[in-house]
Chains A and B, each alone.
Chain A
């Protein structure tokens, strides 16, 4: 028998207690994993939005708490176009309206001449062509959810817009909404002459940092540049709030799981007091007893890790099946699963240490006298 197989066997001596502990910890891990899957999806679609159409960076209003609140003068589009090294720039107005089941139905206004920059694929019909026509193109997901097709119309602010095409970009937020001309979007939103963001594409050999720096130097009072998700997090509080909340929940799960493990392992050590005395009598070093109990604790929590990851994925599937598939875009990355395991490992080590330390320091004669 190997030491490892001894360690793996021990936690299952008291099956009920171990299973209860595993469930408790697994719920915590499931929460962490589910949150990770959702926030990763959110980050990735936000990143897609930032880098829409292969742009190199995005310009937003400075000093705002959330990118949704950004609003800048359309004139800046031309000013940025004139900046050295800039190849192209396009102003986009983004609005969010509740439509159908989707509270975050997104409406994107863009100059029809620059629509190609969004890298959308028109799957049926055609793109809208003029600034003034009451036309739009609808994302595949939105079309499915609203049961619309080319030739139908969509009413926004009491105006009917004709659906001239269906598109696909691969980004859930975009595919769940519509694109229309910038003028139309500004009218709907009551934001004449404003855009939310400006997407900037730079010349081949130009340096992103130099260009963003020169834009911030010139227009820093009104504008800020975002070249990556990290940049965005220093501008946009929304992502930070989500990050902080998921950390706080993770921490809570770790603490609750840790207390559960300490409790379970203390009970287990207490019940086995005599046995620990015998192990000392047959010559086991304190360190071996410590590793055994610590190992048992980690076996318990890693088991909970596996169960928790499965529970987390199942929970996401259930949420999606309940009709949230238009809002949540899950990303199942290896990273999230590793995070689940890492948390399980930490809970096992932290929660197991005190019981293991106590067991290893039991005076052998007292342990052997224990009834």
Chain B
């Protein structure tokens, strides 16, 4: 594996429903440490499946997937990998409704050996960074869509991941709030040097990245 690459995928194949639906049909992909890559393509082409493979939410049928030094095709518990290396941002914020904004950001920290005070401090700092210091004790339902997505970004950053995986992060926001979220993501990439991989079907959004990959019928279009 090339030292510079944080993601190395070779001939990755994945099908669902006992082979009836082929989602990924031989993907080869290399992503360098610190890169900002966007993945585009029509609906159902396999973008989310590819992102999930990188984040070890699912396993490959065939091929190899190496991410941040982990071989994800080895059959062991990958929760440790997800906790240490990956921060997910979804189209829907998926915040827990009965918990406060602060508590939602603390959720990923349970797998660390932190005291309650340390957890709180870390979450508060991230929320401050996302411009939400005045909303820490609110419930997610009391926030706007853009604010919720910023909480979700804070949550994704809680464990200081080396890679942020964002699946249509602006997909359910209006253009003004979408713009703000993209600003945050770009700032993260530029200032914190995190690797950012973002799925989007919006060409304007995709063009913010260093590189755009197009997926079509489970393959990367060249």
Interfacial residues, chain A to chain B (CB-CB below 8 A):
1-3, 6, 9-10, 12-13, 274-275, 277-286, 288, 363-365, 368
Residues in A whose Cβ lies below 8 Å from that of B82: 280-283
Asked whether any CB of chain A lies closer than 8 Å to the CB of B94, the reply is yes
Q: With A2-B116, A288-B110 given, is the CB distance from A281 to B57 under 8 Å?
A: yes
Q: Which residues of A contact B90 (CB under 8 A)?
A: 278, 281, 368
Q: How many residues on chain B are close to A (CB under 8 Å)? A: 34
How far apart are the CA atoms of A282 and B151 in the complex, in Å?
A: 14
Q: Which residue of B lies closest to A12 (CB)?
A: B98
B110 x A284 contact (CB < 8 A): yes
Measured between alpha carbons, how far is A280 from B158 in the docked complex, in Å? Answer: 14
Asked whether, in the complex, the Cβ of B80 is within 8 Å of the Cβ of A283, the reply is yes
Docked complex Cα distance between A284 and B159 (Å): 12
Residues of B within 8 A of A (CB): 49, 52, 55, 57-58, 77, 79-80, 82-84, 86, 88, 90, 92, 94, 96-99, 102-103, 106-108, 110-111, 116, 119-120, 155-156, 158-159
Cα A6 to Cα B104 with chains together (Å): 11
Whole-angstrom distance between the Cβ of A186 and the nearest chain B Cβ: 73
* Contact pick for B88, options A9, A281, A284, CB 8 Å: A281
Total A-B residue contacts, Cβ distance less than 8 Å: 78
> 3 nearest interchain CB pairs?
A283-B83, A282-B108, A283-B82
Contact (Cβ within 8 A) A286 B94: no
CA distance A9 to B98 in the complex (A): 8
In the complex the two chains form, is A365's CB within 8 Å of B94's CB? no
Q: Is the CB of B83 within 8 A of A10?
A: no
* Interface residue SS majority, chain A: helix
Other A-B pairs beyond A1-B120, A283-B80, 18, CB < 8 Å: A1-B119, A9-B99, A10-B98, A13-B97, A274-B94, A275-B94, A280-B57, A281-B88, A281-B90, A282-B88, A282-B155, A283-B83, A283-B84, A283-B111, A284-B111, A364-B52, A365-B52, A368-B57
What distance in Å separates the Cβ of B50 from its nearest Cβ neighbour in chain A?
12
Among A3, A9, A285, chain B packs the most CB atoms within 10 A around the CB of: A285
* Contact of B57 (CB < 8 Å), options: A12, A13, A274, A364: A364
Task: Name the CB-closest residue of A to B89.
Answer: A281
Our pick among A275, A280, A281, A283 for the contact of B96 (Cβ within 8 Å) is: A275
Distance of A369 from chain B, by nearest CB (Å): 8
Cβ of A278: which chain B residues have Cβ within 8 Å of it? 88, 90, 94, 96
User: Cβ of A282: which chain B residues have Cβ within 8 Å of it?
Assistant: 82-83, 88, 107-108, 155-156, 158-159
With A and B bound together, what is the CA distance between A216 and B57 in angstroms?
75
